[in-house]
Amino acid sequence: MTKSALIVWGGWDGHTPEQSSRFVAGMLEGHGFTVDIEPTTEAFADEGLAGYDLIVPVITMSRIEKEELTNLLAAVRAGTGLAGFHGLMCDSFRNEPDYQFMTGGQWVAHPGNIIDYVVNITRGDDPITAGIGDFPYRSEQYYMHFDPSVEVLATTTFSGELFEEIEGVVMPVVWKRRYGKGRVFYSSLGHVVSEFEVPQMRTIFERGALWAAR
């Protein structure tokens, strides 16, 4: 049976939401998904939302109406998967703690902006990260407020070069969790669409999205 996915993009253009949406759509179509792409959160209010196997929000610093959020939360709790990356999932709606509770975290800082850092795989036995070792990365190094109940698959360590008080802080980069019957996957990598050219980043997100799908 063919699986279905909904990708909703919007918010800050600096995160290349439309281009990233189309890249992710092609990735999912390569696995046999039928994919709908919508440019507005109004799609979350659709009465058929819970019929999708996977939802991918690609939205930064935006707003969501109460009925849209209520419907989205209900769909994931009922079993629709949720997968996303960078601020396009964990900085989508800063005013909505219920959304942040579902995703498992919220961006709060990226000291130094675009910098070189290392992603450390902490769960090499998980199918999402299997066969992938630690790897260098150049992007924003996300400092997150995160839920301690998430299952962390990869981390990064802050140097303290810009803020000495965070020197040595180990921060989750990739995690998964359950939300009701739904599976939730997140990776903080993916500032712009070109980062999908990094094979480790692309593979981790691809496997995570497939894991999250019902």
Are 173 and 156 contacting, i.e. CB atoms less than 8 angstroms apart? yes
d(CA 38, CA 5): 11
Share of the chain above pLDDT 70, in %: 100
- pLDDT score at 171: 98
68-90, pLDDT tens digit by residue? 999 999 999 999 999 999 999 99
Please give the mean pLDDT across all residues of the chain: 98
With a cut of 90, say whether residue 111 has pLDDT above it: yes
Q: Name the nearest CA neighbour of 109 among 143, 82, 147.
A: 143
Q: Write down the CATH number for the domain with range 4-212.
A: 3.40.50.880
Are 202 and 174 contacting, i.e. CB atoms less than 8 angstroms apart? no
Q: What pTM does this model have? A: 0.98
- pLDDT score at 154: 99
Going by pLDDT thresholds of 50, 70 and 90, the confidence category of residue 61 is very high
Domain range annotation of the chain: 4-212
Q: Name the nearest CA neighbour of 15 among 94, 112, 90.
A: 90
With a cut of 90, say whether residue 118 has pLDDT above it: yes
Mean pLDDT of 187-211: 98
Share of the chain above pLDDT 90, in %: 100
The amino acid sitting at 5 is: A
- pLDDT score at 1: 85
Cα dihedral 38, 42, 45, 46 in deg (nearest 10): -40
The amino acid sitting at 15 is: H
d(CA 22, CA 38): 11
6-26, pLDDT tens digit by residue? 999 999 999 999 999 999 999
- pLDDT score at 96: 98
